[in-house]
Structure 1
Amino acid sequence: MKMRRWKGFSLLLLVLWAFPIFAQESVPNPDTLVIVAYGEPAELDPATSYSARGWIFIRNLYDRLVQYKGEDATTLHPMLAESWEVSSDGLVYTFYLRKDAKFHDGTPVTAQAVKYSFDRVLKMNQPPSWMLSQMMDLNSTKVIDDYTVQITLTKPYAAALAVFATMTASIVNPAVVEAHGGVVENQENEWMNMHEAGSGPFKLKEWIPGERIVVERFDDYWGGRAKLKRVDVRFYPEIGTRIMLLKKGDADIATGFPAVNIPDILGAEGVVVAPYPSFDIDFIVLGCRGALADKRVRQAVSYAFPYETVIKFVYQGYAQRLTGVIPKGMFGYYEIPEDMRYKLDLNKANQILDKAGYTKGPDGMRIDPNTGKELSAEILVPEGDEVRAQISLLWQNYLKKIGFNLKIRTVTWAVMYQIMRNRESDMLISGWLPDYADPDNYVDAMLRSSNASAIWGSDYNNPKMDELIEKAKWETDPQKRAELYKQIQLLCHEDAPYIWIAQTKQISVHRSWVKGYYYNPVQPMDWFTIYKSAE
């Protein structure tokens, strides 16, 4: 999905409080879950929203055809679809809808609503629409009867069901949308950005921009009533404020804690920090231009990165080594052998640069033989991001030891990615959490030449890589597909267009009265299962 705004390390923190006997009476507002968040979403429309901030609301305001349950991210279960069939050629998906699902205005959820929702995403053509358009077009979805819908893919896609579980594939109420602007090709719907038209377990009560979003329980939900009556999400950009509210018991859950601030929570009375495995990855984009156009330079700087130090001291141990683009635990993962993988090895980094002709000057800094200038590059760091700042400073120190000058430039979040896309800088630290649980969602976004350029501002371009990605994307045989992803990861290791920093863990710290919470690595927090109790 989505780049993290420290998608590098967007942590969900829930804080546990120790209660005395008879503390049940002291559970504050037992029917209301109070979440303090870093910032608010830009929009709530499934066809437009492409951020974790928006998706957590869409998850709970809308339903989809299929869903993951609990912590498992491997098996899809019924949601609006009670059952489904897939043709032998993998092209045709027939979904049989449940007949008791209602939108928040009481109208039934039908096959026509499914077609309307998918066609709407394709027509609006907003950033997340590629997830559907890569495998569907406006002729794909056919209404068989009120509760049967058939979808014919343009090509067989092994991850199709996973796409139907994404927030972008949420089903909207056609009547509500048509009453508020309808569908205009290649345009957002401003009303839908600020309102909702769903069938989920919660419905939107109010949105006060810059202050809070409140949702309330939908009592006619087909899955039964949620345990909570309402969820109140309040926005506090300052982490100190969120920590204070948690410690005082004025908030139940907080989001957006950088790893470096975890010790501030660990010291609080009754706090439990629980790490969960995730598919979130953090990495450095190496713009393949200037000195970094030479893959030998990219390999050398990869050997000058302090992987273990960063994991231990910056991530506070809540991460593990990442050796390639696909995270551990996901289909297609291949672990680069120990004797091949990049690790902190300054001798090897120096040997590579010596052999490539990058000689050292009197000051110990190397000279680029192509320009006659100092071997250097610039990395972008967003203002106020202590995690990225610490990583950059650590790396700068080690790069200096191999004669490479890393210049650190601090910029605002608003312009950082655009600067990189304009080729006005050389590197940036970013991260990725999956839109859906399939390796294609990683390799296509980061290694296909067109996306490496458009998304990350990298000039990485290897026709062989593009060919492998295309083959793997449409291969339906699991063994053949896994082998293709192995080749992709080995080629990526050789080309070194990124430094794979770490696979981060999702940290949950929750007060003892918050119950029923679970973490799923490919879906936002499920408020339906959460309740508050001192027992």
Structure 2
Amino acid sequence: MRYARRRQLVSALLLAPLLSGCFAADDNSSPSGSGADTRLRVAFAFPPAENFSPYGSDATLLSRLGVAEGLTRLDGNGAASPALAESWRQENEHTWLFTLREARFQDGTELTPAAAATALTHAAQADPAPAALSGVKLTAEPAGKRQVRVTTADPDPALPLRLSSPSLAVLSAKAYQKKGTVDPASAATGPFALAKAGGGNRATLNRFDDYWGGRARASGIDARFIADGTARTNALRTGEVDIAEAVPVAQTSSLDKGTARELATTRTTSLLLNTRSGPFKDPKVRAAARAAVDTSVLAKDVYEGHADRGQGVFGPALTWAAGKRVAPEGRARAARVHGTAITLATYDNRPELPEVAQVLQQQLKKAGFAVKVEVRESSRIEGDALAGKFDAFVGARNTMLDTGDPVSVLASDFTCDGSYNLALLCDKRVDRAVAEAESADEPAKRQDATMAAEAEVLRTDATIPLVHQRIVHGVRASVHGVLLDPYERTLIGPGTRR
């Protein structure tokens, strides 16, 4: 009886598939085909770092470009909704059965249960594992003509949410090559097929005419990857591109009227402190850093009002979080700091971050720290940050990007075995609180446990939430159907056109 009641609650309230799409576009255009031979020119902030491998940060690029899809996607309420799976049901605590829709891969082969199972198996065996599978042991196998059975070693009430992750996209057999490499070119199911990439700063995509969701309005995409925010905005302003993602806040006033598309996101900019080595190994020194930071200056001056002051790991775009937030208890008392030398690192793909680092440098200096700032391009600095080569790191993290399940973010970013633990935190109380949240399967209890775990993370001062961001995309007036997604997983869809 207990399991049956739990399954009913999970299915009805948390993970029930909805018949709506993912997110509304910026107009009401239909995704049906058009005879116009028009290509979209798009400037992205982050270049592919891993040759478009679907298992790392490049997975989101494949999703934003309309290349790759998973079994599920997130709808506007953060629930799992149909994508390549048109429906699903939970068979028992460990097993879910997904029914596939009729679809084809871009190489002409059919989406079959065997193909879907193979794709999920490759993801589960990838090294390093995709963030969406952090701490999760998953197996998949065909189950009849149209169904695939997915089994987890431990009960996973958030599995349909997890399978919406861009890093769990379903690709055809040709994508999986020797030595574990994966090539998504013409091997995915989305409305656009990746044709070629040029030196990491350009990519060419062509329309996939047999897309299950209807023929795309644009004939293709010419993507450019421009890390410099001013250069990216200038490319839009001069007509070189039709869409520029993540326009710097300092540049928004220079855009033509009606060109800016602003929306709240679940992205939080944080100061992450190295808890494993260096000065911030001491909780009292971390507390001193927290006491030194004035987040109101960052929200007002650096982000020019296009952000809200940091309240926690999760911000106001996660609408239920504010009413359930728990005050951290047992924080260390701040030590007095006299000339303690630290290295503060960040990346420049998001142009506000170097300015944030400069403001923090002044605030921390005033508190007694001697601060050296290091700025690089994201793909050239993230590995060093994960290896603990800096004392502090300023990063902007979409807290719902990997799975759509906030508990998974806490697990990957702040537990001992977390795969994206930039603070290198390993705290028994945090791990215990996150584990309790992971085991909660009733929606309200899961939310309560999530915020209790957030409070334990904040107690350690391993992370200092700075601001919760809004994002501004630059879109030329002639362009319609851009997907405005608070989770930042999508941007170009079948209905996007000019």
TM-score over 0.5 (shorter chain): yes
Q: TM-score under structure 1 normalisation?
A: 0.77
C-alpha distance in 1 between matches for 2:202 and 2:349: 23
What is the match of residue 181 of structure 2?
188
What is the match of residue 261 of structure 2?
274
Alignment of 1:76-225 (within 5 A): 76-87=80-91, 89-99=92-102, 101-128=103-130, 130-132=131-133, 134-137=135-138, 140-174=139-173, 176-177=174-175, 181=177, 184=179, 187-189=180-182, 192=183, 195-210=185-200, 212-225=202-215
List runs of 5+ in structure 2 lacking aligned partners: 1-24, 28-35
Equivalent pairs counted in the alignment come to 461
Question: 1:133: Cα distance to partner?
Answer: 6.6
Summarize deviations over 1:307-351 as a string: whole Å, max 9, x none.
11111111121111222122334387256979x689xxxxxx9x9
Contact map agreement 1:49 1:55 (CA 8 A) in 2: no
Moved more, 244-253 or 277-286: 244-253
Summarize deviations over 1:351-389 as a string: whole Å, max 9, x none.
955xx5x3xxxxxxx44xxxxxx3343312446875333
What is the match of residue 345 of structure 2?
380
- SS of corresponding position for 2:311: coil
Contact map agreement 1:15 1:510 (CA 8 A) in 2: no
- SS of corresponding position for 2:143: strand
Question: 1:448: Cα distance to partner?
Answer: 0.6
Tell whether 2:391 aligns with 1:426.
Answer: yes
What is the match of residue 61 of structure 1?
67
Contact map agreement 1:376 1:405 (CA 8 A) in 2: yes
- SS of corresponding position for 1:157: coil
Tell whether 2:388 aligns with 1:389.
Answer: no
- SS of corresponding position for 2:265: coil
What is the match of residue 259 of structure 1?
249
What is the match of residue 19 of structure 1?
none
Alignment of 1:201-350 (within 5 A): 201-210=191-200, 212-262=202-252, 266-288=253-275, 289-330=277-318, 333-334=321-322
- SS of corresponding position for 2:266: coil
Question: 1:415: Cα distance to partner?
Answer: 5.1
In structure 2, do the counterparts of structure 1 residues 230 and 476 end up closer, same or farther at CA, with 3 Å as the change threshold?
same
Alignment of 1:423-462 (within 5 A): 423-433=388-398, 434-451=401-418, 455-462=420-427
C-alpha distance in 1 between matches for 2:389 and 2:175: 41
List runs of 5+ in structure 1 lacking aligned partners: 1-13, 17-28, 343-348, 359-365, 368-373
In structure 2, do the counterparts of structure 1 residues 44 and 385 end up closer, same or farther at CA, with 3 Å as the change threshold?
closer
Contact map agreement 2:249 2:306 (CA 8 A) in 1: yes
Moved more, 407-416 or 489-498: 407-416
Question: 1:225: Cα distance to partner?
Answer: 0.9
In structure 2, do the counterparts of structure 1 residues 305 and 131 end up closer, same or farther at CA, with 3 Å as the change threshold?
same
C-alpha distance in 2 between matches for 1:428 and 1:126: 22
CA RMSD in angstroms comes to 3.3
Q: TM-score under structure 2 normalisation?
A: 0.82
Tell whether 2:487 aligns with 1:524.
Answer: no
Q: 1:48 aligns with which of 48, 55, 59?
A: 55
